[in-house]
Structure 1
Amino acid sequence: MLAGLTFGVLTTAHAQELKYTAGNNSWNADSLGNHRAVVSFNGTSNVARVMIPWRRRDEHPEAKRIIIQDAKTKQKITNVKTLTITREQGDICFEPVSGKGDYYIYYLPSKNEGRDNYPKGVYLAPEQTANNNWLQSVPAGMKPNTIVKELEAIDTFNSFYPMEVIATAAEKQQLLLKYPGTGYMVFPEDRQFPIKMTEDLPQRWIKKGPSQSFAGEADKGEYYSFQLGIYAKREMKNVKISFADLKAANGAGIPAAQLSCINTSGTTYDAKPFAPVVNIPAGEVQALWCGVDVPANAAAGIYKGTAIISADGMPAMPVRIALTVTNKQAVNSGFNEPWKQTRLKWLNSTLAQDNSLISPYTPLEVNDSVISLLGRKVGINKDGFPAQIQTFFTPEMTELSAQPKNIFTEPVHFHFTAAATGKDLPWKSNGWKITSKEAGKVSWTAVNTTTGLQMEVNATLEFDGFLDYTVKVTALEDVSLKEITMHLPFDKGAAKYMMGLNQKGGVRPEKIDWKWDVKNKNQDGAWIGDVNAGVQFNLRDENYVRPLNTNFYLQKPLLFPVSWGNGDKGGITIGEKGKAILVNSYSGERTMHKGEVLYYNFHLIITPFHTINTDFQWSTRFYHRYHNLDSIKATGATVVNIHHGNNINPWINYPFIEWKKMKDYIDEAHSKGLKVKIYNTVRELSNHAWETFPLRSLGHEVYSPGKGGGFSWLQEHVGKDYIAAWFVPEFKDAAIINSGMNRWHNYYVEGMNWLVQNVGIDGIYLDDVAFDRVTMKRVKRVLTQDNHPGIIDLHSANQYNKSDGFINSAVLYMEHFPYLNRLWFGEYFDYEKNGPDFFLTEVSGIPFGLMGEMLQDGGNQWRGMVYGMTNRMPWTENADPRPIWKVWDDFGMQGTKMIGYWVENNPVKSSNPLVPATIYKKNGAVLVSVASWAAEDTSVQLTIDWKALGLDPAKAVITAPDIRNFQTGQVFAKDAPIPVAKNKGMLLIIK
């Protein structure tokens, strides 16, 4: 027998013992597939016939190629004839070219087409290679003369045994005849055998038969998982499961509240009770994953109880449970052994859901009608909407100011215009009322009324500046309306820049006329503001669901908001009106009938979030690759970002399997004064996750529906109805797209907590984000607990394209910005053809209190320095940030004050607005960065306010230090023109 792991045996109709084994990647799966039958020929004929009871779960096996090899020589046998190929068995004749001995029959050969990281696994079609003379020599009706020794998967991970070995039609029919009772059967199953098929019964269940009892063994304090598999003879609707207390003979007990089923109950990612509806089509299988949260102080013994399964119109079925609790104490609830499915408990976690503050934010303070938060104030009008929003950040963004900057010229308000008169309906309000007040969140309500309408306003303001409104409009009688609009009247001083609504980041256009197009565009709002004051607004209704992003928007786009959209009548116009830049969100003519309800929900995100931490930018230098730590330290980097797809983090968004290797690496890094962050997010999930099939049992809750396909493992084991995502060829890591907002986010937060506590990670690297700010806040809390650094940097590929729905990355992710330490925007960002205002708004992070780095083609190092940006090592081969790092160190950037070209009173000004200047000022010296967006080589004259710099012009020297691959060293006279090459720039030191 071939070397490998033997899984088990079964007895076929031919009374031969068939083994399921796994080899050690002993053949080339890329050309031969992942599965083969090892057969032995012991005859003398030139024709071998074998009947292979392969019991395949894949559909249409007759449409897939059979490849046969001589086991000794690995020679491909061309004389092959397939007699009958079905899912149950294959009847095959071939020429045994070496006579007696073993032969390999590969029955799922495939090839990968498409991109390496997005493969399309294509199964090879049957081919005719046999010689006609040999075909004619095959005797009609010859008996099988070759035996099947084993069915071998290329490795254990690819094995079908035992839960994907299908029952035959005859076996299934016999089962149904033997158990004719109710409309369904129950097959209790241990956690080590996850139920994987929904349209076939496993042969294992034919042998076992249905049962109404389950026995298991758990340690004290363990979260013990098990399955109740249901086969529906006829359609089952509204399947539920309830539990009774588990009781021991000595009177000890485990309360029923400690038992649960993730398929029928749980807690959403935002801490709300969740009761999904489970329906099972006739002829299909549903796994119900159940768990017992064994108390840590439970006495050892056997605990017995009952689970009751019910469905509409069907008799309830009890399942007896006998759980033996050992004397052993589980470590960390068994979470350190995830292969036991102990972490399914995490799906319903509420960890870090509190509204506690996160540094550097300060408690909310309410004084009369004004709510104060870090650097900002929000005044509330009597109708519950903002009367005014103010910010207190200096234009330099390095400190707070005593002088406020108003964002609006008048209160935010709605207009409901009567169709009959063309006049606005007058609203009455009894004022707003606080409903809850915490340090991190204030909530209030207001009820406004007018002729025939009631408007119920519920709002919350959180410590980071997220202002959320639910606006419920109810018709008290039939009301015909010419128009419903909401006005955001921006002060011109807080409306210089804009991004969103079909606009790339930059100076706000004079006029915007935008219409809803959710099928093609992930657009429901925009950001408008200046560097030190702004607001992002988004328009939504009660049915809002976060769409997919990063190449997948078109597969799950925005849901069209019935209120704001109103067919094709809704849209947004932006333009000057009086003293304001008016954002006019309109929804058009409509009639609301008595009792009808519309939700005109919206939220406002007030920017900036905090001051810029420039010292963090100068001292925190990322090395973005798994590499030798001594070599990394020698570069001057201080933080290592561990991407996925390497030995210590091989599986995308599932860093739990090789965690011991990761911990050893991090411990060594810490001993050398380096920090380590890891790639981990939830946009997609590795197929190596232990919980893959429990998650699949949840339908589309965690995994998005889709057309399937992708890498062969996904097609062979997940089957269909999924979206294949990122693939790493080296590790054969095939990810599946996450559906968006779901309970996997609870698991994700718990997983982060576990990684901080057990592995010592110093933060995470996010490669685009598929969760919202609720999860981000929770993640930041667990990452920064107990004074852990909790560094988060966010990378985004430019989302302004068709497949991403033409959304600006900064608009898409602005709700996360309060919790980030750095931006890395990113792939497909054009640093050459876009202007300085694009850099400022879409790339730098400065208007939001952040700083960033560049990626695509290494960025433009001259332009980047105007915003304090470099790139990171060693991701882009042709751009090495070390020469710039050396300048920072030689000049002494720590403690400098950054004053950007956008600051009106910048002490150093360029004579050419297309060659702006930013300075980094300290006592006795200043570093000046100039960069060109001019169409050709040019020179600029610097106007210098020597007094503001604190320098004596008579003694000052202007030097361009020699910087490798950046500039040649030289000295300039104080009034000399500075030459600047096209698309480049200069770093000058004045001291």
Structure 2
Amino acid sequence: MYQTNHHSRYFRKGLLLAGFTFSFLTAALAQEVKYTNGNNNWNADSLGNHRAVVTFNGATRVARVVIPWRRRDEHPELKRIIVQDAKTKQKINNVKTLVLNREQGDLCFEPVSGKGDYYIYYLPSKNEGRDNYPKGVYLAPEQTADNSWLQSIPAGMKPNATVKELESIDSFNTFYPMEVIATAAEEKQLLLKHPGAGYMVFPEDREFPIKMTEDLPQRWIKKGPSQAFSGEAGKGEYYAFQLGIYARHDMKDVQISFADLKTATGQTIPAAQLNCINTHGTTYDAKPFTATVNIPEGKIQAMWCGVDVPENAVAGVYKGIATISAQGMPAMPVRLTLTVMNKPVVNSGFNEPWKQTRLKWLNSTLAQDNSVIAPYTPLERKDSVISLLGRKVGINKDGFPAQIQTFFTPEMTTLATQPKNIFTEPVHFHFTSAATGKDLTWKSNGWQVTSQEAGKISWKAVNTTTGLEMEVNAALEFDGFLDYTVKVTALEDVSLKEITMHLPFDKGAAKYMMGLNQKGGLRPEKIDWKWNVKNKNQDGAWIGDVNAGIQFNLRDENYVRPLNTNFYLQKPLLLPTSWGNGDKGGITIGEKGKAILVNSYSGERTLHKGEVLYYNFHLIITPFHTINTDFQWSTRFYHKYNNLDSIKATGATVVNIHHGNDINPWINYPFIETKKMKDYIDEAHQKGLKVKIYNTVRELSNHAWETFPLRSLGHEVYSPGKGGGFSWLQEHVGQDYIAAWFVPEFKDAAIINSGMNRWHNYYVEGMNWLVQNVGIDGIYLDDVAFDRVTMKRVKRVLTKDNHPGIIDLHSANQYNKSDGFINSAVLYMEHFPYLNRLWFGEYFDYEKNDPDFFLTEVSGIPFGLMGEMLQDGGNQWRGMVYGMTNRMPWTATSDPRPIWKVWDDFGMQGTKMVGYWVDNNPVKTNNPLVPATIYRKDGAVLVSIASWAAENTTVKLTIDWKALGIDPAKAVITAPDIRNFQRGQVFGKEASIPVEKNKGWLLIIK
């Protein structure tokens, strides 16, 4: 039965307030309104994005107009109306509103210039937030009319002004046609005209994405429901269309099934070539995807469907059936007619994204293979030992690591012949009986390989003990990612005092630590950590030395990657049922015998027969590869869209194009100004420069062509949230989203991505398209909202066909309340194997820290990477101890060009870096708070020293001349003159070198 909805309630309320007749207002609403583009000819920041152009032809002091604006926003009566004289652009104060509801606005104003046009702005707002995180607030009604004018309004006055047109500030802000609502009366008539069915279907072309879920558009009232759809597509095109469903009653488990499309002559497009992205597809990690679509009574759901037309399809008219079904409701067939044109479509139509052709990308499996990515090498297995680049993993009979070794030298520039052990004994679990207080004894029949590829080896083991079975499934990948799924099943009721996992680190591989409430630095003697997922994005840590380490993370089968970068608290970690065990679980770390023992415990519990727990974990073995110092010296980033000749003149070699500029205006959607971008990149390549672009996943521009198809997927792609933000989002997306970054110059308003979803498939395909069609040389990542699965795929497509595929990652320091107190390096370590450089980053304190923090949290060196600095230009003296500068152009006082000049003058290419952390470094200082790193070559060495001492100090150098291969009798120690860094001078070999607080020196010995 039809029920009065919200705008019919407002409508009747308006009638009572104004005292006018129903017939008059329905007649006014029935008039056709012209919708136009205002071409940005007013100030939207103060007047809003929408106005009515009203023509007055009377001769009185009062004009009355009824505006059939058909608004989708709630409570128009709570928003201000601003009336403006079109000739003078002056605000008119004498205004009286009669009826303001979602269907119409009825008001009087003083026509101060007599006959002519007047503007009525009806969604004015102001920003009460930051420029880049606006909080659009709609202005409240105001009373500015004087009493004498109000008294002059005749009782029962009829309208004497007409609506000429409804204008939006630009075409992007228009409500027409899919956001112009139907009236309550029109809805009622529609329902009366089409009784019986529990739902109605409104097929729509891809040109008109369905945007509203609460209101029927006026367009559908005019068209009426239909059980037929027709369209035209080219050969090879992915043709998208919509089946809009209006639920008269609750609909459960809505499905769309397809029959073959056939021509009269028997040509066929198989049903397998048709799909509905709302219900079926492929996940970002290549698993089958299904979603349940329920439509509440009175709501609208867009079901986006696609026909993947074969390239060899014969031109003709293809007909078939799409069948809509829902639980307990009659199925409804929709007749499909697709005319396949004789002209082939280039690249499946992907070059024309406004046709929604790229919705096919949501189900892509591109680059999902386990192929090895350079510089890594194929995995090799010999008996129970698996070898990978610079590392070996031995497998115990129970399936867990017996030992992990690394072969990196402390310098991190070469591989050693002798291994470094990470563990003192195998990784193992303890299940302690509540009855006896003793550990249960497990039996194993050994492990078996289940699959073996060059890039991934998987195995399985089954272990048993009294009342319990442990099924271990594990996989090691070529980059050093070791993943464990540990399924514990109770074969009978079992009471346990404790379940723990032990990672027994060798002390030589446990010098440093990050995570579990610890900033990067020397590992504390003791750690006692408890789960707190509500406030902290913490489920593991990294422990290691520069040339050997492990990151471990504890999870279960319900793990979902949380949001990051200011949004952790809105979607935090899920507490693992196994490891967390309510509030009983935690981790202790400390010395035990020969080991530094990581003891992950979960507390007492009783497992009932048939109950299953997943004690999943993964280990990431570091370093990933040796550091590429030559890449660091020769690859110099310029971080701004600028004239290419100017950039080249700085000495930079790679241009990072951020978003919010002419060639990449829209955040994380570089698919609109692609011609401009390609022209710029082509010119850069001619000048010997490379170009990378900003493109990540964490948030998505509202200018994405697919915004509303993605919204139709519920919370799969966009996170739930309280809405708000920039006015466009409030006016067109409405509610249930998280507003993200905003660029005022382009009015680019982003929406937060929900995390791991099929948009990552689109992202990978998009990267591939940009490489192949635009020629990008890589990407600049600004924090990362995807996991290593997507990262590997991205690296594969970026490096395809010998493209350089350079990736650098920027992160703001995540160790704060909003981000859940997680170290950036811990958060992103799974991505490190595919990066070329780190940029850590905003809110990193380069002054108030110690060398070990710099080494572990910022430099990237223990992981085979090198980095750059950001916050306040960095500390250039300390940075050079790790081979880092800041990036151009940032601040005038931290211009890296003077240091680049030193690199070039000295000849840094081919030098060997030996850090202060290397015990046999040939150059040391006599003060541990003023460490020295050297860059050596035949006959010369560049020494970088920097101070972390609390005050100005002096140091002396201790030099192993023999190790350097330099005759001390002939040696000269020179401090070259470096602008904004140091004044040139010569030091004696035994001289006390003055070092200012927080500063240092670059010295050349030769």
Name the TM-score class by shorter chain. Answer: over 0.9
| Structure 1 match to 2:609 | 594
Residues 1:443 and 2:440 are matched in the alignment? no
| Shift, 1:977, TM fit | 1.6
Measure, in 1, the Cα distance between the counterparts of 2:628 and 2:543.
Answer: 23
Measure, in 2, the Cα distance between the counterparts of 1:564 and 1:456.
Answer: 17
| Structure 1 match to 2:565 | 550
Q: Counterpart amino acid of 1:774?
A: V
Percentage of pairs with the same residue? 88
| Shift, 1:15, TM fit | 5.8
**3-state SS, counterpart of residue 152 of structure 1:** strand
Residues 1:501 and 2:497 are matched in the alignment? no
| Structure 1 match to 2:831 | 816
Measure, in 2, the Cα distance between the counterparts of 1:84 and 1:895.
Answer: 78
Residues 1:54 and 2:69 are matched in the alignment? yes
Residues 1:20 and 2:35 are matched in the alignment? yes
| Structure 2 match to 1:845 | 860
| Structure 1 match to 2:10 | none
| Structure 2 match to 1:268 | 283
Residues 1:753 and 2:800 are matched in the alignment? no
| Shift, 1:871, TM fit | 0.6
Measure, in 1, the Cα distance between the counterparts of 2:215 and 2:490.
Answer: 52
| Shift, 1:14, TM fit | 6.0
| Shift, 1:426, TM fit | 0.3
Equivalent residue pairs, number:
981
Residues 1:98 and 2:113 are matched in the alignment? yes
Q: Counterpart amino acid of 1:80?
A: V
Preserved contact between residue 625 and residue 875 of structure 1 (Cα < 8 Å): no
Name which of 781, 791, 807 aligns with 2:796: 781
Measure, in 2, the Cα distance between the counterparts of 1:877 and 1:541.
Answer: 49
| Structure 1 match to 2:671 | 656
Residues 1:673 and 2:688 are matched in the alignment? yes
| Structure 2 match to 1:481 | 496
Preserved contact between residue 535 and residue 606 of structure 1 (Cα < 8 Å): yes
| Shift, 1:875, TM fit | 2.3
- 1:347-391 Cα deviation digits (max 9, x unpaired): 000000000010000000000000000000000000000000000
Measure, in 2, the Cα distance between the counterparts of 1:286 and 1:785.
Answer: 39
Name which of 564, 569, 584 aligns with 2:584: 569
| Structure 2 match to 1:538 | 553
Counting only pairs closer than 5 Å after superposition, residues 800-815 of structure 1 correspond to structure 2 as 800-815=815-830
Preserved contact between residue 28 and residue 66 of structure 2 (Cα < 8 Å): no
Q: Counterpart amino acid of 2:629?
A: T
Name which of 648, 656, 667 aligns with 1:633: 648
| Structure 2 match to 1:5 | none
| Structure 2 match to 1:8 | none
| Structure 1 match to 2:95 | 80
Name which of 616, 622, 626 aligns with 2:631: 616
Preserved contact between residue 641 and residue 676 of structure 1 (Cα < 8 Å): yes
Q: Counterpart amino acid of 1:981?
A: E
Counting only pairs closer than 5 Å after superposition, residues 140-289 of structure 1 correspond to structure 2 as 140-289=155-304
Preserved contact between residue 857 and residue 878 of structure 1 (Cα < 8 Å): no
| Structure 1 match to 2:401 | 386
CA-based RMSD of the aligned residues comes to: 0.7
- 1:687-718 Cα deviation digits (max 9, x unpaired): 00000000000000000000000000000000
Q: Counterpart amino acid of 1:705?
A: P
Counting only pairs closer than 5 Å after superposition, residues 370-519 of structure 1 correspond to structure 2 as 370-519=385-534
Residues 1:365 and 2:386 are matched in the alignment? no
Preserved contact between residue 756 and residue 762 of structure 1 (Cα < 8 Å): yes
| Shift, 1:251, TM fit | 1.1
- 1:483-536 Cα deviation digits (max 9, x unpaired): 000000000000000000000000000000000000000000000000000000
**3-state SS, counterpart of residue 626 of structure 2:** coil
Q: Aligned in 2, Cα 1:15/1:172: closer, same or farther, shift over 3 Å?
A: closer
**3-state SS, counterpart of residue 431 of structure 1:** strand
| Structure 1 match to 2:989 | 974
Measure, in 2, the Cα distance between the counterparts of 1:138 and 1:593.
Answer: 80
| Shift, 1:12, TM fit | 6.4
- 1:235-291 Cα deviation digits (max 9, x unpaired): 000000100000011111100000001001000000000011100011000000000
Q: Could you tell which deviates more after superposition, 727-736 or 324-333?
A: 324-333
Q: Counterpart amino acid of 2:483?
A: D
**3-state SS, counterpart of residue 742 of structure 1:** coil
Preserved contact between residue 696 and residue 702 of structure 1 (Cα < 8 Å): yes
Q: Counterpart amino acid of 1:368?
A: D
TM-score by length of 2: 0.97
| Shift, 1:410, TM fit | 0.2
Measure, in 1, the Cα distance between the counterparts of 2:230 and 2:458.
Answer: 49
Q: Aligned in 2, Cα 1:698/1:221: closer, same or farther, shift over 3 Å?
A: same
| Structure 1 match to 2:14 | none
| Structure 2 match to 1:6 | none
| Shift, 1:432, TM fit | 0.4
Q: Aligned in 2, Cα 1:15/1:721: closer, same or farther, shift over 3 Å?
A: closer
Measure, in 1, the Cα distance between the counterparts of 2:284 and 2:93.
Answer: 56
Measure, in 2, the Cα distance between the counterparts of 1:188 and 1:412.
Answer: 59
| Shift, 1:890, TM fit | 0.1
Q: Counterpart amino acid of 1:870?
A: T
Q: Counterpart amino acid of 1:44?
A: A
Measure, in 1, the Cα distance between the counterparts of 2:292 and 2:283.
Answer: 14
| Shift, 1:64, TM fit | 0.1
Preserved contact between residue 415 and residue 424 of structure 1 (Cα < 8 Å): yes
TM-score by length of 1: 0.99
| Structure 1 match to 2:9 | none
Preserved contact between residue 659 and residue 666 of structure 2 (Cα < 8 Å): yes
Q: Which runs of 5+ in 1 are unaligned?
A: 1-10
Q: Counterpart amino acid of 1:744?
A: W
**3-state SS, counterpart of residue 260 of structure 1:** strand
Residues 1:913 and 2:913 are matched in the alignment? no
| Structure 2 match to 1:954 | 969
Measure, in 1, the Cα distance between the counterparts of 2:454 and 2:493.
Answer: 43
| Shift, 1:956, TM fit | 0.8
Measure, in 1, the Cα distance between the counterparts of 2:672 and 2:839.
Answer: 28
| Shift, 1:181, TM fit | 2.0
Preserved contact between residue 242 and residue 307 of structure 1 (Cα < 8 Å): yes
Q: Which runs of 5+ in 2 are unaligned?
A: 1-25
Preserved contact between residue 12 and residue 53 of structure 1 (Cα < 8 Å): no
Q: Could you tell which deviates more after superposition, 293-302 or 843-852?
A: 293-302
Preserved contact between residue 706 and residue 723 of structure 1 (Cα < 8 Å): yes
- 1:421-472 Cα deviation digits (max 9, x unpaired): 0000000000000000000000000000000000000000000000000000
Q: Counterpart amino acid of 2:538?
A: Q
Q: Counterpart amino acid of 1:586?
A: Y
Preserved contact between residue 223 and residue 294 of structure 1 (Cα < 8 Å): yes
Measure, in 1, the Cα distance between the counterparts of 2:462 and 2:893.
Answer: 60
| Structure 2 match to 1:942 | 957
Q: Aligned in 2, Cα 1:15/1:365: closer, same or farther, shift over 3 Å?
A: closer
Q: Aligned in 2, Cα 1:436/1:843: closer, same or farther, shift over 3 Å?
A: same
Q: Aligned in 2, Cα 1:989/1:82: closer, same or farther, shift over 3 Å?
A: same
Preserved contact between residue 893 and residue 980 of structure 2 (Cα < 8 Å): no
Preserved contact between residue 12 and residue 18 of structure 1 (Cα < 8 Å): no
| Shift, 1:182, TM fit | 1.3
- 1:858-880 Cα deviation digits (max 9, x unpaired): 00000000000001100234310
Name which of 924, 928, 944 aligns with 2:939: 924
| Structure 1 match to 2:543 | 528
Measure, in 2, the Cα distance between the counterparts of 1:636 and 1:679.
Answer: 21
Preserved contact between residue 412 and residue 486 of structure 1 (Cα < 8 Å): yes
Name which of 44, 60, 71 aligns with 2:59: 44
| Shift, 1:598, TM fit | 0.4
Name which of 788, 796, 800 aligns with 2:811: 796
Preserved contact between residue 959 and residue 971 of structure 1 (Cα < 8 Å): yes
